[in-house]
Structure 1
Amino acid sequence: MVDYEIKYTNRKTLAIYITKEARVEVRCNKRVRKADIERFICEKEKWINEKLELMRNRKSVLIGNGSKILYLGKEYEIVVSESKEGMYDDKFFVHPSSDKRYVYIVLEKFYKQKAKEIIAERLHKYEQIMGLYSTKFGITSANTRWGSCSGKNSINFTWKLVMADIDVIDYVVVHEIAHIKEKNHGKNFWNLVGKYYPNYKSARVYLRNLSVRIQQDNWI
């Protein structure tokens, strides 16, 4: 069986996380039995080994001039330029810098700004459609969660979500709004998500692949 560590949280479901150091973490609450954890690990063993192999073979190459970045599902080429900075046509321009992570700093600022605008608009749209309303909206820098909904119906999204296609952003928005009514991931929850986003299974696969791309690009 795969070696793993248990990290106790207040979450209601079991979850597996692969850390940057290629360690396996199981996150769950203290009421979960060890036997259930081990059964869960066995069920996910193939996926875990694939992720571990990816992390171990990951190259420590930072994105830079000529690299491709994602924004709303489309790739843009990074160009180092003295004259301008920002997105123009199919390229993203950045000024030269001795700081190896300067491109990340500029891009993160850009992504955060766009996330606030785009996700806020999508959230408002689907709140109206679904008749469910959040109490607060925020953008975070979370690495392991695309979105979250608190017990008080405060909804947050990671800014990394704007790397995804707008249609997939809609799925995450619908997912979190659905948690206003259904606080777990039971049958009623997925029925509600499916009512407003029927292709949610495809969106989940897309997000898993995007998560791999984000790791490969050394964002986390």
Structure 2
Amino acid sequence: MTTHKYKDIEYSLKKSKRKTSSIYIERDGSISVLVPSELQQDEIENILERKRFRIYSHLAEWEDANTSRVYREFVSGEGFFYLGRTYKLEIVEKQESALKLKNGQFLLRRKDLSNAKELFINFYKEKGRKKINERVDYWKKLLNVEPNDIKIMELQNRWGSCSEKRNVNFHWKTIMAPLTILDYIVAHELTHLIHPNHSEAFWNELDKVMPDYLHRKSWLNIHGAGMDL
């Protein structure tokens, strides 16, 4: 993506073969604009002008949501999320593996403290791969879609993505969320296999299989910033 500025709106721009235009407020508060390849700069700026009120409304929501952001330390007693529950960390002297979840606690071997973040990320990726594949199998049947590939990865400021090649990707942080919210993220991305945008048709399609998606979406907007390392 390339960075642009229109009046007081700074945004990243990406052009592709898509047919519609979309504007996203990313998890770090930045603005991303996705448009068809043939769209000219003045046309893009017209879209931004028309959507100005909505953009700033969403930015205000993002600022409110980020009051839940937590900066965690890898010390005994610190809490870490897994499937919506908080598990306290205990630093231990000896155990067979560097990090494990046992008896309601995360146990981290002291000699591995310098690699704690990487160990947690690997834990979330491993657990996420199994659970997310289970949820994809469930929701793809309801939506009557078939993704080409599913990956758990670092997605920077997004919970999930769906490519033109019908590959569906999920951020490793999604496994921190309660199952109902994880289901929202999964169903959301799979719906993009039907509508590769956030048009009214997209939300209507998601509503068919998840009538309470707005409640789940709101939860993620409010609490999502707290799911971090």
Normalising by the smaller structure, the TM-score range is: 0.7 to 0.9
Q: Deviations over 1:149-182 (max 9, x none)?
A: 1122111111111001111111121112211122
Matched, 1:78 2:78: no
After the TM superposition, list the runs of 4 or more consecutive aligned residues in structure 1 that deviate by more than 6 angstroms: 53-56
Which residue of 12, 17, 35 maps to 2:26?
17
Q: Deviations over 1:81-130 (max 9, x none)?
A: 11333101221010114755x32111111100011100011111222232
Matched, 1:128 2:144: no
CA distance 1:195–1:6, shift in 2 (3 Å): same
Whose strand proportion is higher, 1 or 2? Answer: 2
Matched, 1:149 2:154: no
Q: Is the 8 A contact 1:146 1:158 kept in 2?
A: yes
- Any gaps of 5 or more consecutive residues in structure 2? 1-6
Matched, 1:67 2:78: yes
Letter of the aligned partner of 2:82 in structure 1?
A: Y
CA distance in 2, matches of 1:67, 1:198: 36
1:189 deviation in Å? 1.4
CA distance in 2, matches of 1:123, 1:83: 37
CA distance in 2, matches of 1:149, 1:59: 28
Q: Is the 8 A contact 1:4 1:24 kept in 2?
A: no
CA distance in 2, matches of 1:113, 1:208: 25
Q: Is the 8 A contact 1:147 1:176 kept in 2?
A: yes
Q: Is the 8 A contact 1:16 1:27 kept in 2?
A: no
CA distance in 1, matches of 2:190, 2:201: 13
CA distance in 1, matches of 2:171, 2:70: 24
Q: What is the aligned-residue identity percentage?
A: 24
CA distance in 1, matches of 2:33, 2:11: 6
CA distance in 2, matches of 1:3, 1:154: 35
CA distance 1:28–1:181, shift in 2 (3 Å): closer
Normalised by the size of structure 2, how large is the TM-score?
Answer: 0.78
Q: Is the 8 A contact 1:68 1:75 kept in 2?
A: yes
**The 10-residue stretch of structure 1 (113-122 or 35-44) with the greater mean CA deviation from structure 2:** 35-44
| Structure 2 partner of 1:27 | 33
1:35 deviation in Å? 4.2
Q: Deviations over 1:3-22 (max 9, x none)?
A: 44221113730122364xxx
Matched, 1:5 2:10: yes
Matching of residues 58-207 of structure 1 within 5 Å = 62-84=73-95, 85-97=99-111, 100=114, 102-207=115-220
Count of aligned pairs: 212
For CA contacts below 8 A with separation 6 or more, give which structure has more relative contact order. 2
- Any gaps of 5 or more consecutive residues in structure 1? none
CA distance in 1, matches of 2:186, 2:207: 13
SS in 1 for 2:156: coil
